[in-house]
A = this chain, B = another copy of it.
Amino acid sequence: MDKPKNYELRAMHATLCQAIADPTRIALLYELGDGRKHVSQLVGSLQLPQATVSRHLKILRDRSLVATEREGTFVYYSLVYPEVLAALDIMRSVMHTNLSEQSSLANAIYFTQGEG
């Protein structure tokens, strides 16, 4: 029993990565990077329907990326693993590098053709 366990672990790894692979959830995670916030606050900052925000929060909660504390009628959400933001930052910097390299490439082609 080695192959199946590796496969399962990889599937879980992917499931966890998938949790952070959505624009709304990325926004939620960065919002929570500032500290805990309740649902209404998150709805306010993301400007999305409450059902949408709750649905995404549930996805993060199911994967233990966020934790909840109820206070009266409010439910506060907070990051369980702030390192997740570091992972997101890496991917974001890769994206930016990519973007600038693409535009450099575009310029290179443009000027090369322009000069002939």
Contact = CB atoms under 8 A, between A and B. Distances in A.
Interface of A: 7, 9-14, 16-18, 20-23, 25-27, 63-65, 81, 83-84, 86-88, 90-95, 97-99, 101-102
Contacts of A14: 21-23, 25-26
Contacts of A84: 90-91, 94
Given A12-B95, A17-B26, A64-B101, 19 more contacts: A7-B23, A10-B23, A10-B26, A10-B27, A11-B23, A12-B99, A13-B23, A16-B91, A16-B95, A17-B21, A17-B91, A18-B22, A20-B21, A20-B91, A64-B102, A81-B94, A83-B94, A86-B87, A87-B91
Nearest to A7: B23
A17 B21 CA distance: 5
28 contacts: A10-B26, A13-B23, A13-B88, A13-B92, A13-B95, A14-B22, A14-B23, A14-B25, A14-B26, A16-B95, A17-B20, A17-B21, A17-B91, A18-B21, A20-B91, A21-B21, A63-B98, A64-B98, A65-B94, A81-B94, A83-B90, A83-B93, A83-B94, A84-B94, A86-B87, A87-B87, A87-B88, A87-B90
